[in-house]
Structure 1
Amino acid sequence: IRKGSVCSSELLHTYLCFPEMATSLLKTSLSARTKLLYQTGLSLYNTSHSFHEEEVKKTLQQFPGGSIDLQKQDNGIGILTLNNPSKMNAFSGVMMLQLLEKVIELENWTEGKGLIVLGANNTFCSGSDLNAVKALGTPEDGMALCMFMQNTLTRFMRYRLPLISVALVQGRALGGGAEVTTACDFRLMTPGSEIRFVHKEMGIIPSWGGTTRLVEIIGSRQALKVLTGALKVESEKALNIGLAEEVLQSSDETQSLEEAQEWLQQFIKGPPEVIRTLKKAVSSGRELCIEEALQNERDLVGTVWGGPANLEAISRRVKYYK
């Protein structure tokens, strides 16, 4: 049974004893999961998990400071800036709310192809604002915040936001900031920058989905070292263990952003509908079991086959084997 598949031990038992019933259950489950993947705004958690989003939003509003800024460029690249420099771009409660608002805005940006996430003033993010952390001191508060941020970052990285995303790590990405980098498809780092999961030193563990995503990116053995050692993963080490794609040439805020845009451009050349469809296909291949991923790929083909980009490429008679 494939990891991440909708199949379970119960379904396996049913299949062995009642194969026709199991096949029917699997097909129904596949169909349901495909529909869920398509639904914009779907949350991992809802009231059935004792998660009440509107109540959490009211609580987060009590902790102002900073902003999440979004610039949508004509070239199809969005620039999402974590802007709270007086606190090393730590997330205030209001910033957490604004991040969700920006994700929703990006979901509806049909011309978009790529996204770069960075912090203001040449540093990425130091995690959560400690004022909010201290005030939300009960396990119930921690669980509610965990579910809110997991919902937001899952929407950010999955099928429903079909942009190729890059975290531009300048300076430090600590705690929750390190977790945010894992929600991007790629990570680019400047010389001297670092990613560090400091959660253990705070007496907690990553709560925004960072553990799960880190294991997917670098594997369980490396993830265990990084997390239990609260290791300072500098740019060259990040490159060596597969956490970063590339170490950029410049540490200058403006120049490194230009480098990041140039790096991203090689992957987003072409019509938005084609780039976005490719991202959707890759995401479904990662998230779904093989049968459902293949069916989803078939459906996606139908959205671009015979479309303007396909017909234009055929008319040009491009020969790729030269």
Structure 2
Amino acid sequence: MSISIWKGLLQTTKSRLFVQRGVSLYNGTHGFEEEEIKKKLQQFGGGAINLSKEDNGIGVLTLNNPKLMNAFTGTMMLELQERVTELENWKHGKGLIVQGAKNTFCSGSDLNAVRAMSSPQDGMNMCMFMQNTLTRLKRLPLISVALVQGKALGGGAELTTACDFRLMTPGSEIRFVHKQMGLVPGWGGAARLVQIVGSGPALKLLSGALKVDPERAVQLGLAEETLLSSEETRSLEEAQVWLNQYTKGPAEVIHAVKKVIAAGRELQFEAALPAEKDIFGTLWGAPANLQALAQSTKHK
């Protein structure tokens, strides 16, 4: 088989894999023992991941463990995977807001679970488990925004990068504190941070464990804007208004927009083009397209 044919086959395979829902980065061939780490995570309970889905196609995913500043317990990590699966199959969904309960976003991992799973193999399995889950969250066919209230620390900061956008409330902060724990991000946060702000700013944020307030986050491009209110209900309403401007229209069109952007971000150019072509083909002549033509939609 010629090199050119082999490359074409590889690119086509990557494109097909990319558009499939629920495709994970790691499996048994990578030494990933998913069922084993699930059993261990199940031992560390507490908190919950709540999901509400509104008729307008906007979902709200809430980390609910306020007594630990919404830190991820083991069971919360498992629930997050379940909620992502549910969102992947939400045909009428268009947008998602990720928030923490009681005016705090997330303080990372529950240290009780971290201490109990201190072996390198457990650490690597938890790393691969969360990378899989957060990558699937990033690839959702929904436009997602992290509503950062209070503190987003460590793994919480990484979670914000798994959303398409970030909105911050007055007095909130994002801080990658991993260095202070003798670690680096392991849930994909470093790779995503480089994509968002560039390698130089990302290096400063990680090596200095710097506190990023709303003003600096906007300057860096880490956040879109600072909301007016820090009160829980009002800031959620503001986030919903902000997100609504990007989720107008049929769900299938929003899904396609997310997919072509994700293809351009994650695939090599030669593979992204046929992926875009395939996604375009699902809309051409479809109901939304035909309705727009029938209404002689004009661009304003």
Shorter-chain TM-score: what band?
Answer: over 0.9
Q: Which residue does the alignment assign to 1:16? A: none
Q: Which residue does the alignment assign to 2:78? A: 97
- Counting only pairs closer than 5 Å after superposition, residues 14-163 of structure 1 correspond to structure 2 as 21-158=2-139, 161-163=140-142
Conserved 8 A contact 2:99-2:146: yes
Deviates more, 1:301-310 or 1:177-186: 301-310
Deviates more, 1:178-187 or 1:298-307: 298-307
Unaligned runs of 5+ in 2: none
Residue 155 of structure 1, CA deviation? 0.8
State the secondary structure of the residue aligned to 1:211.
helix
| 1:183 paired to 2:194 | no
Residue 138 of structure 1, CA deviation? 1.3
For 1:249 and 1:39, how far apart are their aligned partners in 2? 38
For 1:239 and 1:138, how far apart are their aligned partners in 2? 38
State the secondary structure of the residue aligned to 2:63.
strand
State the secondary structure of the residue aligned to 1:173.
strand
Residue 39 of structure 1, CA deviation? 2.6
Unaligned runs of 5+ in 1: 1-19
For 1:40 and 1:318, how far apart are their aligned partners in 2? 32
Q: How many residues align?
A: 300
| 1:316 paired to 2:295 | yes
Q: Which residue does the alignment assign to 1:263? A: 242
Which structure has the larger Rg?
1
State the secondary structure of the residue aligned to 1:121.
coil
Q: Which residue does the alignment assign to 1:197? A: 176
For 2:67 and 2:227, how far apart are their aligned partners in 1? 25
For 1:201 and 1:148, how far apart are their aligned partners in 2? 23
Which residue identity lines up with residue 258 of structure 1 in the other structure?
A: E
Which residue identity lines up with residue 222 of structure 2 in the other structure?
A: L
Residue 315 of structure 1, CA deviation? 1.4
Q: Cα deviations across residues 91-128 of structure 1 (Å, max 9, x unaligned)? A: 00000000000000000000000000000000000000
For 1:214 and 1:207, how far apart are their aligned partners in 2? 12
Deviates more, 1:306-315 or 1:87-96: 306-315
| 1:169 paired to 2:137 | no
Q: Percent of aligned pairs with the same residue?
A: 65
| 1:218 paired to 2:197 | yes
For 1:258 and 1:41, how far apart are their aligned partners in 2? 30
What TM-score comes out, normalization by structure 1 length?
A: 0.92
For 1:106 and 1:318, how far apart are their aligned partners in 2? 31
| 1:282 paired to 2:254 | no
CA RMSD of aligned residues (A): 0.9
Which residue identity lines up with residue 164 of structure 1 in the other structure?
A: I
Residue 296 of structure 1, CA deviation? 1.1
Residue 319 of structure 1, CA deviation? 2.3
For 1:48 and 1:317, how far apart are their aligned partners in 2? 53
Q: Which residue does the alignment assign to 1:11? A: none
State the secondary structure of the residue aligned to 1:141.
helix
Residue 291 of structure 1, CA deviation? 1.6
Residue 286 of structure 1, CA deviation? 0.8
Deviates more, 1:191-200 or 1:24-33: 24-33
Which residue identity lines up with residue 70 of structure 1 in the other structure?
A: L
Q: Which residue does the alignment assign to 1:240? A: 219
Residue 293 of structure 1, CA deviation? 1.0
Q: Which residue does the alignment assign to 1:303? A: 282
Q: List structure 1 segments (4+ residues) > 3 angstroms apart after TM superposition.
A: none
For 1:292 and 1:239, how far apart are their aligned partners in 2? 32
Conserved 8 A contact 2:19-2:259: no
Residue 167 of structure 1, CA deviation? 0.2
Residue 40 of structure 1, CA deviation? 2.2
What TM-score comes out, normalization by structure 2 length?
A: 0.98
Residue 21 of structure 1, CA deviation? 2.1
Residue 253 of structure 1, CA deviation? 0.5
